[in-house]
Amino acid sequence: MIIVLFGKPGAGKGTQAPLIAQALGVPTLATGDVLRGALRAGTPLGLEAKGYMDRGELVPDRVILGIVGEELRTPAYAKGVILDGAVRTVAQAEGLAAMLVGLGRSVDAVLALDVDTEEVVRRMSTRTVCEKCQTPYTALPAGSVCPKCGGAVVRRKDDEPDAVRNRLRVFDEQTTPVLAWYRNHGTKVEVVDAVGDVSDVTKRVLRAIGH
């Protein structure tokens, strides 16, 4: 079972990915991790990727997908995998499909963890940080005095409502065409509401993919 996982910023993808993987008995594969692994191991594709990075260029999809493909050939992924961060554009979806054909496999489902924008704005709005000692807080409103050092407690710029709304809008603009591409190619796309208890969301996800 090969699942491509999408998570809206604030949807808890980092929390859910290992729980879903555990329930399905398959590993997760984060593109960033395998790329770093190939760089460390100095594989031919790893060295090619390093060349691009050393020149300050983006590593092309062909190289990234090659590295992901080499990893997927190993026995650890025989039962399946949850791909995290492998597909951000339609070109990458096409490249992944072509690479998997070479392995005699295909994407079984695309899973998108969804959250309501205003819910994320609400969640982020309770996060504050001490300007001076950088201690994060969730229940201390901006404008408070840091109990640890007496510094000013502020909201991170990234967590300001407009910044959060903008981040989510950019994510939607990027992923909508990718999800449409999968639907048009007959792949099951499940958009799962990721608001609520961690375990409830995991159950919802597993139900959506028929487990």
Q: Which residues bind Zn ion (CB under 5 A)?
A: 130, 132-133, 146, 148-149, 151
Q: What minimum distance in Å lies between the beta carbon of 152 and Zn ion?
A: 8
Q: What 3-state DSSP class applies to 207?
A: helix
Length of the chain: 211
d(CA 97, CA 105): 9
Q: What minimum distance in Å lies between the beta carbon of 125 and Zn ion?
A: 20
**23 vs 142 by CB, closer to Zn ion:** 142
Q: What minimum distance in Å lies between the beta carbon of 106 and Zn ion?
A: 52
Annotated catalytic residue within 127, 132, 165, 203:
127
Among 104, 85, 97, 109, which residue's Cα sits nearest to residue 35? 85
**2 vs 130 by CB, closer to Zn ion:** 130
> Is 73 a catalytic site residue?
no
> Is 207 a catalytic site residue?
no
> Is 40 a catalytic site residue?
no
**154 vs 195 by CB, closer to Zn ion:** 154
Angle at 73 between CA 70 and CA 75, to 5 degrees: 135
Q: Which are the contacts of 197, defined by CB distance < 8 A and separation ≥ 6?
A: none
> Is 62 a catalytic site residue?
no
> Is 127 a catalytic site residue?
yes
